[in-house]
């Protein structure tokens, strides 16, 4: 089975967030997809299958090392750029990607050999509450003074439910997850946490046990865009660059924007560049 290795949210290989894309994987079961993802050891892998709706439409399934995700940002952006490289005829193309939970559109652009860019429309944002968590800073090995006093912690979703945690100063550099956060986050209606320095426009995200840090989190970046717009830190439709991955040695840049006012954020976009790194074939599929 053919696959391509791309780096997302970077304009050069060996930077950004790596991804394995399987462009023709209709015959695989979910168990096989999970096993392949664990074998490849990328943060996530994406598996595509043709859709009868048309040549520019695909079914997509995204897996991380723990299992299947309802939604993700960087795999969809990387997958769309692979589709453009394999099947795109024009400089700009739009691809419809259908996940189990929702469908999204990704617009791609060819920039040079092995270099593409893409913009993912994540749709509207849902604001789900502002929990008052006394021990919030301690979850990340921080002090209460490290939290931004001008911004609230807030749960919101543009596909996955994130607790946005606003920090300031050098808190991002010092942050570490001190305990498994899956149950505490679930108690407040969130699936994941995203630390955001709204002044520096930089974020960090780990899996909930803190073992792995994500290089660039497209789903979290969408929530960051909606959050920044709601709190008037970016303008209506203004595009800004959100940074992530610097502290992993793989600096990444995500272009984000949000359209709307207050809690009425009607559309959120996340985009970035994609660099092609390698192509290969699996010699054998898992049982």
Whether 43 has a pLDDT exceeding 90, the answer reads: no
Residue 93 — very low, low, confident or very high, per pLDDT cuts 50/70/90? very high
- 247 three-state secondary structure: helix
User: pTM here?
Assistant: 0.93
Q: What is the pLDDT of residue 32?
A: 98
**pLDDT exceeding 70 applies to what percent of the chain?**
100
Give alpha helix (H) positions in 27-146. 30-40, 74-87, 136-139
Q: What is the pLDDT of residue 242?
A: 98
The active-site residue, picked from 44, 154, 202, 273, is 44
Q: What is the pLDDT of residue 141?
A: 98
Residue 219 — very low, low, confident or very high, per pLDDT cuts 50/70/90? very high
CB 232 within 8 A of CB 84: no
Whether 204 has a pLDDT exceeding 90, the answer reads: yes
Question: Is-catalytic flag, 182?
Answer: no
Q: What is the pLDDT of residue 101?
A: 82
Architecture of domain 2-122+273-281: Roll (3.10)
- Common-topology check for domains 2-122+273-281 and 126-271: yes
Q: pLDDT tens-digit profile of 122-135?
A: 999 999 999 999 99
Domain boundaries along the sequence of the chain? 2-122+273-281, 126-271
Residue 285 — very low, low, confident or very high, per pLDDT cuts 50/70/90? very high
Whether 87 has a pLDDT exceeding 90, the answer reads: yes
Residue 245 — very low, low, confident or very high, per pLDDT cuts 50/70/90? very high
Phi, psi of 23 (to 5 degrees): -75, -15
Where do the DSSP E strands lie in 54-113?
A: 57-64, 68-69, 92-98, 103-112
Whether 53 has a pLDDT exceeding 90, the answer reads: no
Q: What is the pLDDT of residue 255?
A: 98
Write 255-263 long-range contacts (CB < 8 A, 24+): 255/119, 256/221, 256/222, 256/224, 256/225, 256/228, 257/225, 258/125, 258/225, 258/226, 258/228, 258/229, 258/230, 258/234, 259/229, 260/124, 260/125, 260/229, 260/236, 261/236, 262/230, 263/127, 263/230
Superfamily of domain 126-271: Diaminopimelate Epimerase; Chain A, domain 1 (3.10.310.10)
Whether 25 has a pLDDT exceeding 90, the answer reads: yes
Q: pLDDT tens-digit profile of 247-270?
A: 999 999 999 999 999 999 999 999
Query: What does pLDDT average to over the chain?
Result: 96
Write 234-237 long-range contacts (CB < 8 A, 24+): 234/258, 236/260, 236/261
Region 76-100 average pLDDT: 96
Region 182-207 average pLDDT: 97
């Amino acid at each position: 089975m053919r696959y391509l290795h791309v780096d997302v949210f970077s304009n050069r290989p060996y930077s950004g967030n790596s991804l394995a894309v399987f462009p023709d994987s209709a015959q695989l079961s979910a168990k096989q997809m999970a096993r392949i993802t664990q074998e490849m050891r990328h943060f996530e892998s994406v598996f595509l299958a043709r859709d009868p709706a048309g040549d520019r439409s695909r079914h997509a399934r995204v897996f991380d090392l723990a299992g299947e995700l309802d939604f993700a940002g960087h795999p969809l952006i990387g997958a769309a750029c692979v589709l453009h490289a394999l099947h795109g005829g024009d400089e700009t193309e739009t691809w419809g990607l259908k996940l189990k939970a929702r469908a999204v559109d990704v617009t791609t652009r060819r920039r040079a050999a092995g270099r593409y860019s893409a913009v993912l429309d994540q749709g509207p944002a849902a604001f789900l509450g502002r929990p008052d968590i006394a021990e919030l800073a301690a979850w990340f090995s921080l002090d209460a003074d490290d939290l931004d006093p001008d911004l609230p912690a807030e749960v919101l979703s543009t596909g996955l439910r994130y607790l946005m945690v606003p920090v300031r100063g050098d808190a991002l550099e010092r942050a570490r997850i001190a305990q498994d956060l899956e149950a505490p986050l679930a108690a407040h209606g969130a699936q994941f946490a995203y630390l955001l320095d709204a002044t520096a426009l930089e974020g960090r995200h780990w899996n909930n046990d803190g073992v792995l840090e994500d290089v660039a989190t497209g789903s979290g970046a969408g929530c960051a865009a909606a959050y920044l717009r709601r709190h008037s830190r970016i303008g209506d439709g203004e595009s800004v660059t959100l940074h992530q991955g610097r502290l992993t040695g793989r600096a990444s840049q995500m272009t984000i924007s949000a359209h709307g006012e207050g809690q009425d954020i009607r559309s959120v976009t996340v985009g970035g560049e994609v660099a092609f790194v390698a192509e290969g074939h699996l010699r054998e599929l898992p049982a």
